[in-house]
Chains A and B, each alone.
Chain A
Amino acid sequence: MKRLTIGFIPLTDAAPLIAAHECGFAADQGLELDLVREVSWANIRDKLSVGLFDAAHMLAPLALASALGIGHVKVPLIAPVTLALNGNCITVSTAFAREMGEIPDDPLAALPLIRAAIERRASAGLSPPVFAMTFPFSTHNYLLRAYLAAGGIDPDRDVQLVVIPPPLMVNSLEKGLIDGFCVGSPWNSLAVDRGIGRILCPTSALFSGIPEKVLAIGATPDAGTSLALVAAVARAAAWCADPANARTLADMLAAKHYLDVAAPVVLRTIEGRLVLEPGGPQIDIPDFIRYDVPDAVRPNAGRFAWLYAQMVRWGQTRFDPAAMGQIEALIRADLFDRALESMPVTAAAIVAGDPVGARIDRPFNPFDIGGYLAGFDARGLPAGTR
């Protein structure tokens, strides 16, 4: 048995790693996983960087930024499995929801209401609403920004964006420190259950395929061990994707040493049946969180290109045409394919066209990032909205 130390943050999308350990997929590959719950993405990155972790559950944009050396030091890592697609929501406090008025089902139709609430606050001399996300290099940052910008709201001027660690989100909303947030599961559902939050927008309503977390492997494991880990985690993801296992998975994740959240809440986030407002009905959310193999889990360069384009769009880095090559080197799709050679997978047709399934903005073409970026002004807003 080869022992590997792997860091994770308590979130529903750590499921493939946890299942790899709990259901024996890792043991089948001769691996013993030592899963360590961490408190910050910065710790995950730093401990992976110095070899205290062999691998980690990591924000896909953080893995990309670390590999490209954007915003911080360059960290030698690869991200050969995407642990999940989507799974996030944009939630506002029930107080802010009241400021917005009657909230429509269509998240895009809610945008003019947010804008009106911002304008009312401004004319009353009040400070702008505060929205929280989890990390500068996170899908939550980009999704929240893309959403607001689609409504002509400048995320850097019209609202205040702050970073709050996921487990502290709900408390911050409760204390009135923030008016809303974009975070992964199960924290949005927890805010609704506590009667303090209203889910405005499951982000799968904006894009159907955004890489959320990755399995990041550092420099310590050798090639054979990495391959075995990829095989174990990919098999675990396929297990997680099977609706027949949802209940078992929810019970597993709910445990104190993993998410420490009640199993029924976790189950809703796994099955994508969300309660949007306190006391409201359960609603089926298409593509809410996806672990399916291979389409969701096999790393897709086009989807990572979208993440990269967001970094450029929001001024975190300058556009570099060489980035696509670096993305290929980061995701090592070849490793995934080799690890899966022996695994029978239904060959889902790789969706042609926009890899992230944009339902707002323009369709994304990874072969024309420059053209995509030209559709936004210097502040990242859709060109011509202001």
Chain B
Amino acid sequence: MDAALTICIVDESRSRAAIIEDGLREAGYRRIVHIDEMTNLLARLYATDPDVVVIDLENPSRDVLEQLFQVSKLVKRPVAMFVDQSDTRMINAAIEAGVSAYVVDGLKKERVRGILDMCIARFHAYSKLQGELDHAKSQLEERKIVERAKGLLMKHKGISEDEAYALMRRRAMNEKKKIGDIANAVVTGLEMLG
């Protein structure tokens, strides 16, 4: 661990960057810069002069970083990709997590390994959180649509709430579909009838 290292997080997602930054601070790193605006990325990086750059694999600006290798005469400190051929396990882990890292040339691998390990773990944690959030959202959406479908069925068929729900559940089981899909079909169909 080397608190003096400047670490730059290039990420358009503020929440993920915050999760990574927290991890780095917990690990004792003090100089962390977050860039979330991709225009003039190179100029911002030159100004930050980082030792390590962490970037999301889904960020098209990765190609912009590649230019750092080519214009090293303009950069104060040339940057090179951390992951080298000898470390396929690390590359695989990083790609799977969706993160890539670049470090200044000459920085010893052991000094940055911890940083990348931490970022990989945090990227995974973020994806898991995001997944849970998406799941919760879709459950909420489903509940809403089921409620609307129940109301429409009660109105059009003159049945009780329980009967309306039972009707949809039976249909879902028979057709091997989710109740949300059935409710969707009910809403689309009955709303057209008015």
**A and B pair up:** yes
* A residues apposed to B, CB below 8 Å: 39-43, 46-47, 49-50, 52, 71-74, 134-136, 162-165, 167-168, 172, 175, 177, 316
**Contact of A39 with B67 in the complex, beta carbons under 8 Å:** no
Find chain A residues with CB under 8 A from B42 CB.
162
Q: What's the nearest-Cβ distance from chain B to residue A136, in Å?
A: 4
Chain B interface size band reads: 20 to 34
Q: State whether B81 touches A163 (Cβ < 8 A).
A: no
Q: Please give, as numbers and ranges, the residues of chain B lying within 8 Å of A164 by CB-CB distance.
A: 64
Contact B67 A163 (CB under 8 A): yes
* Residue in B39, B60, B88, B100 whose CB lies within 8 Å of A165: B60
Q: Is the CB of B81 within 8 A of A134?
A: no
Q: Which of B42, B63, B70 has the most chain A CB atoms closer than 10 A to its own CB?
A: B63
User: Which 9 interchain pairs have the tightest Cβ spacing?
Assistant: A165-B60, A136-B70, A40-B62, A163-B67, A39-B60, A42-B62, A40-B63, A163-B64, A73-B85
Whether A39 touches B40, Cβ cut-off 8 Å, given contacts A52-B95, A316-B70, is no
Contact B60 A46 (CB under 8 A): no
Could you tell me which B residues sit within 8 Å of A by CB distance? Answer: 38-40, 42, 57-67, 69-70, 81, 84-85, 88, 91-92, 95, 100
Residues on A with C-beta less than 8 A from B88 are 50
Asked if residues A42 and B65 are in contact (CB atoms below 8 Å), the reply is yes
Contact of A177 among B39, B63, B91, B95 (CB under 8 A): B39
15 contacts between A and B (CB under 8 A): A39-B59, A42-B62, A42-B65, A42-B100, A43-B62, A46-B100, A49-B91, A50-B91, A50-B92, A136-B66, A136-B67, A162-B42, A163-B66, A165-B64, A175-B39
Q: Is the CB of A73 within 8 A of B84?
A: yes
Q: Is the CB of B39 within 8 A of A172?
A: yes
Asked if residues A72 and B69 are in contact (CB atoms below 8 Å), the reply is yes
Residues of A within 8 A of B58 (CB): 39
Q: Which residue of B lies closest to A133 (CB)?
A: B67
Q: Is the CB of B60 within 8 A of A40?
A: yes
Complex Cα–Cα for A165 and B58 (A) = 12
Which residue on A lies nearest to B70, using beta carbons?
A136
Looking at the assembled complex, report how far the CB atom of B153 sits from the nearest CB atom of chain A, in whole angstroms.
35
Q: For residue A73, give the distance in angstroms from its CB to the closest CB of chain B.
A: 5
Question: A276: shortest Cβ distance to chain B, in Å?
Answer: 27
Known: A39-B60, A73-B85. A162 touches B67 (CB 8 A): yes
Task: For B60, give the chain A residue with the smallest CB separation.
Answer: A165
Docked Cα-Cα span, A43 to B85, in Å, equals 15
A177 / chain B contacts, CB cutoff of 8 Å: 39-40
Q: Which residues of A contact B91 (CB under 8 A)?
A: 46, 49-50
